Amino acid sequence: MAFELLSEPIRRYVYEQRWESLRPIQNAAIGKILTTSHDYILASRTASGKTEAAFLPILSCVDFRQSGVQVLYISPLIALINDQFMRIEDLCKHLDVLVTKWHGEASKTLKDKLLKTPEGVLLITPESLEAMFVNRAYQAQALFANLKFIVIDEIHAFLGTDRGLHLQSLIARIKSLSPLPVRLIGLSATIGDYEQAKKFTGNAENTKVLLDKTPKEVMAEFRYYSVMTIDYPLAFITDLYQEVSDKKTLIFPNSRGKAEEIAVKLQQVSARRKGHKNYFSHHSSIDKELREYVETFAKKNQDHPFSIACTSTLELGIDIGSVDLVVQIDSTFSVASLIQRIGRSGRRAGMASRLLLFATDPWSLLQSLACWQLYTNGFIEPIQSRQQPFDILFHQILSKLKEASGIKQKQLLPWIKANYLFSDLPEDAIRSLIGWMVEGDFVEALHDEYIVGIAGEKLVNSREFYSVFRSDPTIKIIFQGKVLGEIPNSEQIAPDQNIYLAAKIWKIIDVDAVAAKAEVIPAQDGKKPLFFGAGGDIHARIRIEMLRIIIIGTQIKDTSIELQNQLQELRFEFKRFQINNFLTDRPIIVKEQTLEWYTFTGSRINRTIAFLFKTMDLAFRYEESQSLFLITNPYDDLAAILEEGKERLRNIDEYIQYYLAAEPAFFPSSKWGVYLNDQFKVGYVKEAYLDIPTTWLFLDQIVLVY
């Protein structure tokens, strides 16, 4: 029995919690972690006890009397660290084990104490790890020289991202500090590609997946409400209010601006109806203290209803207690995101998760139904990881040179190849990158050593160096000396403009462009506030499912009459098309002045097609929500256009390089990719922005149906 494998203090902890039994993922993890030497990915639904599944066995087998940090917990969010700190500290209380938080907002006194006497469990973000390597190299060695376990929470949040690539490199560097193997345990509720997750550890063959398939009942209801304006009409907000006013609810409307609008308008409706005042917003632009207040209120509130209009900040595992209902307004951008959001309700044992999905336009309705259908079929988007992350390597070379105060020239290449993230990169390309960095004075070749060059010093000495994700310019919003939050800066942020923030409407009275601050007061004039926020990429499988629903319909129950009528109307528009194969057949509508081509494929393939059209000087417009190209010249021979596109894919590097020179802002770049030469920039565009192989296959197999 797994319970008997636990140490006596940990068994006593379980008894004191009065658990009737261990959860399935806990039983499996305890048995495997304590009896094997493998790395593990623990995959189980939200609120299934994954944190305890990892720490119960780890705390049972680690000898915390040894010097150095024994367990390193890495989280994607500072808020999640603060939340998990209390749970892990509670677990450790019977062992007299020190648990320390380490991030920009954590206690300096406790950090200094850990540096003086390294021990116990350390909770940290990737960016704080990077800062530790750069600024405290000697102390990092002392901290991690005897490390036994690395636990990565919400590992899916790192997979397929630049931040995840950065973390992989940092993990390799941490492991190199220990003479003994360091085991890695990843925790996730949503992984669509377990093979990619196993590669994340750096030792896929030694990594096993423990998958808890225990079903969770989900009660879902679907509504349609046509919204023809930019902002939500009163009638829609009133309907939403009737659904949430007596419940503890999370509302996900897909953007920060929409979250603010909903929170404000629900407050207004509630005030008119003499309802409760507990309507909040929660997203990354709101000041940390205000976010934490909302989280604490929700967690400690047991008896009163509340609604939090939020973005992905509450999609991950921050504990906010029991939630009765999740409302999704318009479709999520991925099935994985839908799964995370559904899991926020019904966290108590025996409770079903409840989802209410409002769609406000026909194509969002279609995408919502497609995501739900794929969810019920067990589909999660596979991970797309970059194979040649030279921008991350650029950053890590500078980090290593700063950490070591220089490195022998003959040792740099072996150090790079020893890091499993970079081990498969061609040596000639690595040498080319190093040469480029020397040429640009990012690195200086001094005698037989490489050191940080003058241009490199400007980068490594910046606070922005510790992260690999780009921070868009923001402006602080201040009311009576108190920071309410930070919103994206733009020319629209000007005196007399109204903005949404922290579930209120504010009027800007003064802007200090140099200090990036704006003074506000509560708005009283009814002027429409500004919105901010953006969407995400859609996977091709979602679009294929949308086409399937258009052609053959859906069997989803619990839908409103309005929804059924709108879906029927949408299906009627495509009724005349003979679609025999949902993978290849795509409808074309030829009109007098335009050709309308519905590709029903993923965002990255559509971006690649749009780029090909641009190189042909075609006049076209692309509608992302409908996966629709409107071509105005020439519009009568799309087959020939697509054949030309396939030919241009053969020479895609030349076209990308041309536009990188002619229109530098045309392609997005990664934070550190801007410092690379064109050879590596072309590679980044192909891997991170376009999708060359899949686009070729799509164009080669496509059947145009008129």
pLDDT by residue (tens digit) across 274-329? 999 999 999 988 988 898 899 999 988 878 999 999 988 788 767 788 899 999 99
- Could you give the angle at the alpha carbon of 145 between the alpha carbons of 118 and 43, nearest 5°? 90
Q: Are 372 and 220 in contact (CB under 8 A)?
A: yes
145 pLDDT above the threshold of 90 = yes
484 pLDDT above the threshold of 80 = yes
531 pLDDT above the threshold of 70 = no
Q: Would the CA dihedral through 506, 511, 513, 516 be positive or negative?
A: negative
Tell me the CA distances in angstroms from 421 to 207, 323, 413, 669, 672, one per residue in order: 16, 40, 13, 20, 16
18 pLDDT above the threshold of 90 = no
Share of the chain above pLDDT 90, in %: 68
- Which residue type sits at 603? S
Cα(500)–Cα(311) distance, rounded to whole angstroms?
14
Average pLDDT, the chain: 91
- Could you give the angle at the alpha carbon of 98 between the alpha carbons of 94 and 99, nearest 5°? 105
- The pLDDT value recorded for residue 274 is 95
pLDDT by residue (tens digit) across 23-64? 999 999 999 999 999 999 999 887 788 999 999 999 999 999
Q: Which residue has the higher pLDDT, 195 or 127?
A: 127
Indicate the range of 91-95, 208-212, 238-242 predicted with least confidence: 91-95
- The pLDDT value recorded for residue 632 is 87
Cα(262)–Cα(327) distance, rounded to whole angstroms?
12
457 pLDDT above the threshold of 90 = yes
Cα(213)–Cα(387) distance, rounded to whole angstroms?
31
- The pLDDT value recorded for residue 705 is 95
- The pLDDT value recorded for residue 92 is 87
578 pLDDT above the threshold of 90 = yes
Over range 108-126, report the average pLDDT: 93
Over range 542-569, report the average pLDDT: 90
- The Cβ of residue 410 has, within 10 Å, a number of other Cβ atoms equal to 10
- The pLDDT value recorded for residue 78 is 86
Q: Edge-to-edge strand order for the sheet containing 619-623?
A: 619-623, 628-633, 595-598, 585-590, 703-705
pLDDT by residue (tens digit) across 681-700? 999 999 999 999 999 999 99
* Residue linked to tokens 């629903």: 549
Domains of the chain, start order? 2-211 (3.40.50.300), 215-385+496-573 (3.40.50.300), 390-466 (1.10.10), 576-705 (no CATH)
606 pLDDT above the threshold of 80 = yes
- The Cβ of residue 616 has, within 10 Å, a number of other Cβ atoms equal to 12
pLDDT by residue (tens digit) across 404-414? 999 999 999 99
pLDDT confidence bin for 10, thresholds 50/70/90: very high
pLDDT confidence bin for 532, thresholds 50/70/90: low
Over range 177-188, report the average pLDDT: 94
The secondary structure of residue 351, as a DSSP letter, is P
Cα(435)–Cα(449) distance, rounded to whole angstroms?
14
- The pLDDT value recorded for residue 228 is 81
438 pLDDT above the threshold of 80 = yes
Over range 124-129, report the average pLDDT: 96
- Which residue type sits at 251? I
- The pLDDT value recorded for residue 588 is 93
Beta bridge partners of 184: 150
- The pLDDT value recorded for residue 191 is 84
- The pLDDT value recorded for residue 634 is 64
Over range 115-121, report the average pLDDT: 94
Cα(444)–Cα(368) distance, rounded to whole angstroms?
53
Cα(474)–Cα(493) distance, rounded to whole angstroms?
10
**Residue 224 is encoded by which pair of tokens?**
């349609």
- The pLDDT value recorded for residue 533 is 58
Q: Which residue has the higher pLDDT, 480 or 190?
A: 480
- Which residue type sits at 227? V
Share of the chain above pLDDT 70, in %: 98
For 283-316, give the DSSP string.
STTB-HHHHHHHHHHHHH--SS-EEEEE-GGGTS
- The pLDDT value recorded for residue 512 is 86
pLDDT confidence bin for 215, thresholds 50/70/90: confident
Over range 605-624, report the average pLDDT: 94
243 pLDDT above the threshold of 90 = yes
